[in-house]
Structure 1
Amino acid sequence: MPLSPDQAAEITAQRAQTTPTRRVTSPGMEERLYTAHPVLDHGFVRVIDYMGDDAAICQAARVSYGKGTKSVSNDEGLIRYLMRHWHSTPFEMCEIKLHVKLPVFVARQWIRHRTANVNEYSARYSILDREFYIPAPDALAAQSTVNNQGRGELLEGEEAARVLEMLKSDAMRAYDHYEAMLSTEGQKGLARELARMNLPANIYTQWYWKVDLHNLFHFLRLRADVHAQYEIRVYAETICEIVADWVPAAFKAFEDYRMGGVNLSATALDCIRRMLKGEEVTQENSGMSKGEWREFEGVLGG
């Protein structure tokens, strides 16, 4: 259960409050504020605060680039120009603060994006809840035979059942020992900062994560990609839905130029030019390695 009844009631109370303001607001984001969007079995993402909108991006761009933007007839066109030409600074004028509940092993992937401000729930001061991520059966897969950091075929039958049982029993046993070490009944009890070391990587943690839109787009480009690990990808996909309501023009440009676009090397671009001229181009005469050629064929749909 992502939220307790008390937490749900607190969010309802927050959403019932309204305050007059002179600052720019985004109608789509105002509807999202404080709402917890469920992710995985016990996780969620919710917006705590935000700054800016599509217009704020354009305002900053026109200050930064002056007369160079006068040929752009509208804000959406300007935003697409900025995205297309990798002018990232104006997107940094928008910020978002998220409250995220996620498994520790997902958090360790997430924290590699070092361009945000993070404050995590501290197990030195507080006791973690007995909540663990247990994959759904359709998320249990064998190691990929072609990708050292990916998944292959689904586990089935007795093997899948055995793996799920081990995940559940190991997590519960570790938490039982965690509670036993913390207990002060008939003993001193181990310090929380030490007892936490026994907990598994699938236990849930929480943090506040504040990031500007430019760096958020970089996070989403990598983590919402089909090749990203499923458990972090579903968080990224949820954030994509939120961002689409917050800055619709910027997100549309991001989808088009970053998520839906590709970067080609000079060699790959030369191969395309040769193909357009009618030349037969193969891996052997392309100047690419086998790996590069395979990826190039994937881009072309070959």
Structure 2
Amino acid sequence: MPGEEVMDIEFRSDVEVELIKSAASDADVLWAARVSTKGESSLAEIEADPQRSKGLINFLMRDRHGTPFEHSSMTFYVKAPIFVFREFMRHRTFSYNEESGRYRRLEPVFYVPGPDRKLVQEGRPGKYVFADGTAEQHKLVGETTRDSYRQAYLAYLEMLDAGIAREVARSVLPVGLYSSMYATCNARALMNFLSLRTKREDAAFPSFPQREIEMVAEQMEEHWRQLMPLTHAAFEANGRVCP
């Protein structure tokens, strides 16, 4: 019975990011930059003078010579609430493939803000800040979202059991439902994403991302930092501005 299946509903407050594959290194930036003056470069030549290589990457970042940072590729698997993906896909320099509610039954996994999620918006647009919220407000959010999810998923199952097409039945599901996708980008596209989707005091330009997409961005940045440490260090040193 649908009522029994809905008891298997899962509530989460995290996101998942996995680096699936990559062709990304600091050497990619150096080769691309040096071809304009030297033609083809070798890895041995790059490794022979690491300080010069570090300096070149910093120069490119500082003076915003962006195209050398495009000769890399990273593919991430991301599992997050649908509302995160709606923001994510504004970044049109990524390539996306997302799971489809037209072709499979969607699993009952829903987002509920964790106890550390700030709940209350104070101030006017462009100037507002978020406050923690009271214990009563956290209780209200938890109980209300869980009840809403249960009712929505029960309605979804009832329509499926009645023979309604998946693409029609899914319309009752909320954006707190978890989805999954592959997202592929180069280092320049990722830096643009990070400059907008992370809040850092040392950033040259302030950004005010929604916390849930920032959680995704933080995990992506850590993967990238390990792949391209010189490029990441230059990004940090130059105010986290995309070149």
Say yes or no: TM over 0.5.
yes
The residue aligned with 1:48 is 20
When Rg is computed on C-alpha atoms for both structures, the one with the higher figure is 1
Letter in 2 for 1:216: L
**Residues 1:109 and 2:83 aligned together:** no
1:269-280 to structure 2, matched below 5 A, reads none
* Unaligned residue ranges in structure 2 (runs of 5+): 1-11, 40-49, 201-207
CA-to-aligned-CA distance 1:129-162 (integer Å, 9 cap, x gap): 1111100123141222133685532221323212
* Unaligned residue ranges in structure 1 (runs of 5+): 1-39, 263-302
The residue aligned with 1:179 is 157
Contact 1:174–1:198 at 8 Å: present in 2 too?
yes
**Residues 1:138 and 2:116 aligned together:** yes
Q: Distance in 2 between matches of 1:159 and 1:201?
A: 21
The residue aligned with 2:34 is 62
The residue aligned with 1:211 is 185
Select which of 216, 221, 228 maps to 1:235.
216
CA-to-aligned-CA distance 1:224-262 (integer Å, 9 cap, x gap): 224211111111111111111000000000111132x79
Contact 1:96–1:210 at 8 Å: present in 2 too?
yes
Alpha-carbon distance change, 153 to 73 in structure 1, aligned in 2, over 3 angstroms: closer
Alpha-carbon distance change, 64 to 197 in structure 1, aligned in 2, over 3 angstroms: farther
Alpha-carbon distance change, 171 to 151 in structure 1, aligned in 2, over 3 angstroms: farther
Q: Distance in 2 between matches of 1:73 and 1:161?
A: 54
The residue aligned with 1:248 is 229
Q: Distance in 2 between matches of 1:143 and 1:120?
A: 31
Q: Distance in 2 between matches of 1:44 and 1:115?
A: 21
**1:170 match: secondary structure:** helix
Letter in 1 for 2:135: G
The residue aligned with 2:55 is 77
TM-score w.r.t. the length of structure 1 is 0.67
**1:146 match: secondary structure:** coil
1:15-54 to structure 2, matched below 5 A, reads 41-54=13-26
Letter in 1 for 2:180: Q
Q: Distance in 2 between matches of 1:49 and 1:161?
A: 40
1:115-134 to structure 2, matched below 5 A, reads 115-134=93-112
1:123 is displaced (CA, Å) by: 0.7
CA-to-aligned-CA distance 1:167-189 (integer Å, 9 cap, x gap): 11101110111111111xxx4x1
Select which of 197, 202, 227 maps to 2:176.
202
Task: Give the aligned CA root-mean-square deviation in angstroms.
Answer: 2.4
Contact 1:91–1:214 at 8 Å: present in 2 too?
yes
The residue aligned with 2:76 is 98
1:165 is displaced (CA, Å) by: 0.5
1:110 is displaced (CA, Å) by: 0.7
Letter in 1 for 2:58: R
Identity %: 35
Contact 2:75–2:183 at 8 Å: present in 1 too?
yes
Q: Distance in 2 between matches of 1:41 and 1:112?
A: 23
User: What count of residue pairs does the alignment treat as equivalent?
Assistant: 216
Q: Distance in 2 between matches of 1:84 and 1:177?
A: 54
Contact 1:43–1:204 at 8 Å: present in 2 too?
no
